[in-house]
Amino acid sequence: MGRVEIRIAGFGGQGIVLTGHIVGQAASIYDSGFATFTQSYGPESRGGSCTAEVVISDEPIDYPYVQSPRVLIILSQEAYAKYVNSLPKGTLAIIDSDLVKPSPPHNPVPLSIPATRMAREMGRAVVANIIMLGFLAAVSDLVSTEALRKSILASVPEGTGDFNMKAFELGYDYGQKHRKRS
């Protein structure tokens, strides 16, 4: 696998930091690899820009910061405008189609999932990030699906595990049906 860099960006209150934590934990604890996790967010607790960056590798990581992401998960239009134009060729870009409207030309076209709408239909918009993780598991091989499941269960509040697993499976199933990359 080598070094793989992942950037997750959106706004405060979307679970961006938790999403990065779950991916890093899945890679390092449950897939027995190595991971670093950094985060940045604006002074506003909700609504300000927020970014989580994860570096995963099968060997120790000497530099913990993302320079050239292989995966970019975007959950806001502002984050899309900030990060999409500087993407390296071959980057897997994933957007929440309810919150991000891509502007052409973007090559390759980002994969999209209506994660926020799906979460609202489940009755809790706060699980859109977990739906997005299920989608990520279906369209990439960065972290094993089982490691992501275990990491989610270890990271979400007690008593919400079943609901979060339903959200993960919803995103995973959507990804299996709509994926364009393996």
Query: Is residue 180 over pLDDT 70?
Result: no
What residue numbers bound the domain in which 109 lies?
A: 4-178
Mean pLDDT of 62-69: 93
Residue by residue, what is the 3-state secondary structure of 22-83?
HHHHHHHHHCCCEEEEEEEECCCCCCCEEEEEEEEECCCCCCCCCCCCCEEEECCHHHHHHH
The string of pLDDT tens digits covering residues 39-65 is 987 665 566 789 999 999 999 999 999
pTM (global) more than 0.85 = yes
> How high is the pLDDT of residue 181?
44
pLDDT of 84 over the 80 cut? yes
Q: The domain spanning residue 96 has which CATH number?
A: 3.40.920.10
Q: Is the pLDDT of residue 66 over 50?
A: yes
Q: How many domains does the structure of the chain reveal? A: 1
